[in-house]
Structure 1
Amino acid sequence: MAEVTFKGNPVTLLGTQVNVGDKAPDFTVLANDLSEVTLADSKGKVRIISVVPSVDTGVCDQQTRRFNEEASKLNGVEILTISVDLPFAQKRWCAAAGVENISVLSDHRDLSFGKNYGVAIEELRLLSRSVFVVDSNDTVTYAEYVSEVTEHPNYEGVIEAAKAAK
């Protein structure tokens, strides 16, 4: 498992870590209208899955806005941001931030994504900052577990991996 800290303190990640070359595990999360969303809903597309603890915090806000901006440049790539924020809070945040090029989804209900990708922080019931690129055949081509939850992911590495996965 990846060693991850939150503000310098080690945390326990629940679930199974996903590695490059693995078949992407399915999951069920909620859209802002409370409808269920699964990996299979975007089958056949390249996906960037951006994982943040909460869109209401500084780094998460910046990460989500950055991928929203990149979405218009990455034709054929679907970008999903997943956090454990309530769908209602995500909808409010997206409206206030002008985020409309990506899907912001909630894993609050049962941590399906967090456990299936090994990013659920046991001590905090939050998701650990991470990014995955899944190709059109549902194979993981990029997996980044950010070692310190309060730091940014490697945006350039993610974008290059998404372009290469097409």
Structure 2
Amino acid sequence: MANVTFHQEPVTLVGTEIKVGDQAQNFKVLTNDLKEANFDDYKGKVKLISVVPSIDTGVCAEQTKRFNEEADKIENVQVLTISMDLPFAQKRWSSANDITKLETLSDHRDADFGEKYGVLIKELRLLSRSIFVVDSNDKVTYVEYVKEVTNHPDYDEALKAAQAAK
């Protein structure tokens, strides 16, 4: 598994580490309207999955805003932001921050995404900051497990990967 820290302290990631070339795992999460959604709902599309610990914190907010701004520039890509935040909090935050070009999804109920993508922080029950790009055939084409959870991901590389995916 990826060696990850949170405020410079090592944390344990639960689940399976995803690698480039893997077939993306199906997962279930909740929409902001408390409806169950799963990965198969986005079949046939390129997906950029932005994973944040809590959408209402500094770096997570900046990450979500950045991908919202970039979503129009990467054609035919569905941008998803997944966190452990309650759907109500995601909806309120998204509305207050004019997040309209990406979808926020909650993994709080089952941590299904967190375990299947190897980003569930055991000690905190939060998701570790990471980025996954999955092509229209559900092959993983880009993975970044951010080594220090409080740091930003490599936005430019993630966006390049999303643009290159078919």
Asked whether the two chains share a fold, i.e. TM above 0.5, the reply is yes
Counterpart of 1:25? 25
Deviation at residue 32 of structure 1 after TM alignment = 0.3
Q: Note the alpha carbon deviations across 1:5-47, whole angstroms, 9 max, x for none.
A: 0000000000000000000011000000011111100000000
Aligned-partner SS, 2:99: coil
Deviation at residue 104 of structure 1 after TM alignment = 0.3
For 2:144 and 2:37, the matched residues in 1 are separated by 22
Deviating runs (4+, > 6 A) in structure 1? none
Counterpart of 1:129? 129
Counterpart of 1:64? 64
**1:139 and 2:133 correspond:** no
**Alpha-carbon contact 2:133-2:158 (below 8 Å) kept:** yes
Counterpart of 2:73? 73
Counterpart of 1:46? 46
AA at the equivalent of 2:11: V
Counterpart of 2:91? 91
Counterpart of 1:107? 107
AA at the equivalent of 2:129: R
Aligned length: 166
Q: Note the alpha carbon deviations across 1:39-71, whole angstroms, 9 max, x for none.
A: 100000000000000011000000000000000
Q: Note the alpha carbon deviations across 1:70-104, whole angstroms, 9 max, x for none.
A: 00111100000000000000000000001010000
Aligned-partner SS, 2:113: helix
Unpaired stretches in structure 1, ≥5 consecutive residues: none
Aligned-partner SS, 2:73: coil
Q: TM-score, normalised by structure 1?
A: 0.99
Aligned-CA RMSD value? 0.4
AA at the equivalent of 1:129: R
AA at the equivalent of 1:93: W
Counterpart of 2:7? 7
Counterpart of 2:150? 150
Percent identity between the two aligned chains: 64
**Alpha-carbon contact 2:28-2:112 (below 8 Å) kept:** yes
For 2:83 and 2:118, the matched residues in 1 are separated by 14
Aligned-partner SS, 1:138: coil
